[in-house]
Amino acid sequence: MLLRFRVANHRSIRNEQELSLVEVPKRGEDKPKAGEIPPTVQVAGIYGSNASGKSNVLDALRWMSWAVRTSYTRWEPEGGVPRYPFLLDDDGPEAPSFFEVDILHYGTRYTYGFEVDDTQVREEWLYAYPRGRPQRWFERKISEDGDHVYHFGRSLKGKVTQTSKLTRSNSLFLSAGASHGNDQLSVVYQGIRGGFRVADQNVADQDIRASVTRSLLADSNSSAQVFKLIGLADLGVTGWRLEERDYSEALKKTFSESYETLAKDLNLTSRKQELLLLERGEGEYRRALSPDQESDGTKAWLGLVGPLVEVFRSGASFLVDEIDSSLHPMISSTVLKMFKDPEVNPKGAQLIFASHDTTLLGHMLDSELLRRDEVWFTEKDAAGATELYSLAEFHPRGEENFERGYLQGRYGAVPYVPFEDIRSVFADLHKESDESSSSSKEEPRSEYTNA
C-alpha cells in the first residue's frame, strides 16, 4: 500500500513534488500520533490541462518500480542509468533525479528512496518502522573520492557487506540484496516490484492486459465471475469463447514475398494466438465478433477487468492513465466505487488515475465519489515544470461541487483558451485562402465561344 511518493527531476517534473494517499483529517479530528500508521485513501485522481504532467507523475512511480526490478539484473554494467531528467533548463540534465516511496507492506511501514544521475546511483536509503519504531537498514552515498560508502543498521541482517561489494555503481543495492537472497530486503523489493500495476492507453499494453482477462476466463475457478464483470459494462454480450488461431497464415498473406525469410528469422512457423471472441444475440442469431470488430469501449473494458481482479486479490496499487478513455462515465465511476468498497476491496488495493472526466468530481453520479484529499491537480509553471498539488489545500466546503469549481478555474489546472485569438487565426487563414483562390482563377470559357 502506498502512503506517499516523492519525485524530482523526471520528465516535466523539475522540483520535488509529493503525491500523498494519507487521509487529511477532517475539522476536529486528531492527526495520527508519531509512529502510528496513518489511515489512507483508496483512490487518487489527477486532473490538469493537456501536457501538464499528469501522465508523468504516474510514469515516475512506474519508472521507480521498474528500476528496482531491473537495475541489478538487466541494466548494462557500463550503460549508466536510463533516466529521463528535466530538459528545459541547464540544470536538469546535470542534476540527479530523486525518487522516494513510503509504503505499508505486511503491516510494516518502509521508506525507500534513491538519487541517480546519468552514470550511477548517487544515494540510496531504506528505513523500516516495525511497531512504529524507526530503524535505519542502510544508507549509501558517494564519498569525495568517488567511492560508494555504505552504512548498515544493526537491524539489517545477512551478508550485506559482501552484497555491497557485488553491487555495481549503476545498480540499486535493494535490487542486488533481493537477487542474493536477503530475506529482509526481498520483502521490501517485492513490495515495490509487485506493488504497482500499470495501465497505459496504447494498443500493445491494452492487448497485454486483455490477455489477463482471457486467462481468468479460461480458469474454471474464476470464469463465471469474470464474465459477470465483463457484462457489467452493458456491452450486450451473451457469451464468449476462446479460439486458437495460427497467425503465421495472416503474416504469409501480408508478407507474401518475404514471409519465408521473416518466419525463419523470427521463428514464426508454428506461432499461434488465443483470441477471446465475445458473442452477442440469442439462438440462431448468436454471433461471435473477432477482436478487431469490437468497439474501443469494449476493448478498453476487457483490458481493465483482468487487472482489476488481480489488484483486488493482491492489494496492489493500480496506476491508470486516462481512465476515462473510451469508457462511459458511469463505468469509470463504478471502478472508483469498487476500490472504495471494503467487500470488493478487502486487501486495500489503491487506484491512482489521471483523467479529464470532470463528472467524477461532481455530484451528478455520486455526491461522495471523490473526497477533497483524493483529488490532485497538475499545472506547469512559466519554465514548463510540473507542479502537483491537492484539492485539500483549498479547504473546500463539504457541500462544494468540485466539478463546478474546477471548470470555473477556482483551483487552477485548467487550460486558458482565448477564443478571440482563434477567430483572428481563422480570419487570416480564410483571407489567405480567398486571395489564393482568386489569383488562380481563369476566365471561364463558354462552350459556345468560337475557337
Same domain, 252 and 125: no
CB-count burial class (<10 Å; 0-12, 13-18, 19+) for 350: buried
Average pLDDT over residues 252-278: 57
- Asked if 165 contacts 149 with a C-beta cutoff of 8 angstroms, the reply is no
- Asked if 97 contacts 13 with a C-beta cutoff of 8 angstroms, the reply is no
Distance between alpha carbon 22 and the CA centroid of its chain, in Å? 19
> Residues with Cβ < 8 Å from 80, sequence gap 6 or more?
118, 119, 120, 170
- Is residue 434 in a domain? no
Average pLDDT over residues 45-57: 97
Same domain, 396 and 294: no
- Is residue 435 in a domain? no
Q: How confident is the model at residue 451 (pLDDT cuts 50, 70, 90)?
A: very low
- Is residue 420 in a domain? no
Same domain, 24 and 151: yes
Same domain, 245 and 336: no
Give how many domains the chain has, as a whole number.
2
Same domain, 168 and 45: yes
User: Does residue 410 register a pLDDT over 90?
Assistant: yes
Ramachandran area for residue 245 (φ above 0: left; ψ -120 to 50: alpha; else beta): beta
User: Domain residues for 275?
Assistant: 199-305
Same domain, 284 and 340: no
Distances (CA, A) of 425 to 91, 273, 438: 36, 50, 20
Same domain, 118 and 156: yes
- Is residue 266 in a domain? yes
As a whole number of angstroms, the distance between CA 63 and CA 99 comes to 9
| Nearest Cα to Cα of residue 349 among 315, 305, 310, 309 | 315
- Asked if 64 contacts 56 with a C-beta cutoff of 8 angstroms, the reply is no
Q: What's the pTM value of the predicted model, to 2 decimals? A: 0.88
Least confident of 198-212, 277-291, 341-355: 277-291
As a whole number of angstroms, the distance between CA 370 and CA 342 comes to 16
Last residue of a domain, one of 283, 305, 327: 305
The H-or-E segment that residue 338 falls in is helix 329-340
In which order are the strands placed within the sheet that holds 272-280? 239-246, 272-280, 287-289
- Is residue 433 in a domain? no
What are φ and ψ of residue 273, in 5° steps?
-130, 135
**pLDDT at residue number 61:** 98
Q: How confident is the model at residue 295 (pLDDT cuts 50, 70, 90)?
A: confident
Last residue of a domain, one of 305, 325, 345: 305
Same domain, 190 and 209: no
What does the pLDDT look like over 349-362, one tens digit per residue? Answer: 999 999 999 999 98
As a whole number of angstroms, the distance between CA 45 and CA 339 comes to 12
As a whole number of angstroms, the distance between CA 49 and CA 356 comes to 8
- Is residue 418 in a domain? no
**pLDDT at residue number 444:** 56
H runs (alpha helix) in 103-172: 160-166
- Asked if 2 contacts 62 with a C-beta cutoff of 8 angstroms, the reply is no
133: CATH: 3.40.50
**pLDDT at residue number 390:** 98
User: Does residue 2 register a pLDDT over 80?
Assistant: yes
Radius of gyration of the chain (CA): 27
- Is residue 177 in a domain? yes
- Is residue 422 in a domain? no
Average pLDDT over residues 378-397: 96
Same domain, 321 and 381: yes
What does the pLDDT look like over 211-263, one tens digit per residue? Answer: 898 899 889 999 899 988 988 876 677 677 777 766 555 555 555 555 455 55
Last residue of a domain, one of 255, 282, 305: 305
Same domain, 126 and 221: no
Same domain, 19 and 159: yes
Please state whether beta strands 239-246 and 272-280 pair in parallel, antiparallel, or not at all (unpaired).
Answer: antiparallel
Same domain, 165 and 58: yes
- Asked if 311 contacts 197 with a C-beta cutoff of 8 angstroms, the reply is yes
